[in-house]
Amino acid sequence: MILKQFFDEVSSTYSYLLAEREGGEALIIDSVLENIDEYLRFLGTHQLKLRKVVDTHTHADHVSGMASLRNLTACMTLVSDHSPVSKASVRIKHGDKIQIQGISLKVLYTPGHTSDSCCYHMPGFVFTGDTLLISGTGRTDFQGGDAGASYDSIVNHLFSLPPETLVYPGHDYKGENLSTIAIEKHTNPRLAGRSRAEYVAIMSNLELDDPAMMDVALPANICIGDDIGQGLDAAKILSVAEVRAKVRDANVLIVDLREDEEIEKTGTIEGCMRIPYKDLDVILLDIEHPLLQHLAEGKEVVFFCAFGERSALALSRMGDTHIDNCYHLKDGMDAWLKVH
């Protein structure tokens, strides 16, 4: 497995790139906008295809690289379903799995530092964001922070992991880069031997200044999806009613770009073809594929996904290859399920 830790000197943020192997699919956790060239170089050197970017929470101290990485690589963006982010490919919940080739991270919803904080666990490793830092914990005094919830999240969800689990935090300010659950459980000065009430008292008396970049970072990080679909021909963007009218039309192929786990939760549109978004590039090279055959006959294709991000990216991709007759469902299955 490839696990690369990147460090942003300005905000002392750790970002992580995961992949099963050279030449395979990659995932980046907590990217920083200023460092995306470094990630792209690493991806290129190891011939990795970036599939997904995910943040552990909405950051206040740096601008996330998620939007730029999506725009440059057409990867998927994932955020917590408690996130204030306006638009993303997928909204993840406690217990969900974030999967790329050969790697599966389990989502642990761990509110406290912020109301949208999550940690990501796979056997042997946990990426803790600001929920649990080395000899510390993330502040709980803004963005829906709650010291009691922070304690509960750490004790119930992180300290119950196997003690040897490696802890990869979202920040470090003292040059540390790695810990374990056992070390933090027994030596973290805010937690070791502390009751919940003692922890809440400690967190209530930190008296920290606001992060230097807070006024810039928070608004930027909340609107990472706002530019999706801009530049698309308005006639290619369909409402739920317009797609409903096409469902039984033999000249229209409706394509669900979501992954199996997402489809299992919500169901899908009757008669649609399922093509996971990540497979689209390969399919566009396969002239025998039913999607291309359908288009070759001059018929229409309507893409949809969870929230309209992947389908908008797919539409751009089709436009790049000069394939016309493609449309997408605005706001995806989320909108479909809301309109009866």
Binding-site ranges for Fe ion (CB under 5 A): 130
Name the residue nearer to Fe ion (CB basis): 57 or 236. Answer: 57
Q: Which of 163, 314, 328 is CA-nearest to residue 237?
A: 328
> What's the closest the beta carbon of residue 241 comes to Fe ion, in angstroms?
41
Shortest distance, position 179 Cβ to Fe ion, whole Å:
18
Q: Closer CB to Fe ion, residue 116 or residue 130?
A: 130
Q: Residue type at 309?
A: E
Which residue type does 63 have?
Answer: V
Residue type, position 49, single letter:
K
* 207 to 192, 202, 214: CA distances (angstroms): 22, 10, 16
Shortest spacing between CB 24 and Fe ion, in angstroms: 30
Q: What value, to the nearest 5°, has the Cα angle with vertex 227 and ends 32 and 314?
A: 95
- Spell out the residues 6+ positions from residue 19 whose beta carbon is closer than 8 angstroms to its own: 1, 2, 25, 26, 27, 46, 48, 100, 102, 103
Q: Which is nearer to Fe ion, 55 or 96 (CB)?
A: 55
Residue 182 vs 214, nearer CB to Fe ion: 214
Distances (CA, A) of 274 to 91, 128, 236, 301: 20, 34, 20, 12
Q: In the complex, what is the shortest distance from the CB of residue 60 to Fe ion, in angstroms, rounded to a whole number? A: 6
What are the backbone dihedrals phi and psi of residue 200, each rounded to the nearest 5 degrees, phi first? -60, -40
Q: How far is the CB of 106 from Fe ion (least distance, A)?
A: 21
Min separation Cβ 174 and Fe ion, Å: 17
Compare residues 130 and 146 and give the one whose CB is closer to Fe ion: 130
Tokens 């030449």 belong to 23
The residues, ordered by sequence, that sit 6+ positions from 166 with a Cβ below 8 Å of its Cβ are 124, 125, 126, 178, 179, 180
User: Considering beta carbons, is residue 144 or 319 the nearer one to Fe ion?
Assistant: 144
Shortest Å, Cβ 117 to Fe ion: 8
User: Would you say 130 or 184 has its CB closer to Fe ion?
Assistant: 130
By three-state DSSP, how is residue 95 classified? coil
**Token couple for 257:** 């770009």
Helical ranges in 112-248 per DSSP H: 147-153, 181-187, 196-204, 214-222, 240-244
Question: Nearest residue to Fe ion, using CB?
Answer: 130
Closest CB to Fe ion among 27 and 133?
A: 133
Do the beta carbons of residue 181 and residue 158 sit within 8 Å? yes
Please name the residues in contact with 144: beta carbons below 8 A apart, sequence gap of 6 or more: 111, 114, 115, 116
Nearest-approach distance from CB 247 to Fe ion, in angstroms: 44
State the nearest-atom distance from the C-beta of 61 to Fe ion, in Å: 6
Q: Which is nearer to Fe ion, 130 or 259 (CB)?
A: 130
Question: Are 39 and 195 spatial neighbours (Cβ–Cβ below 8 Å)?
Answer: no
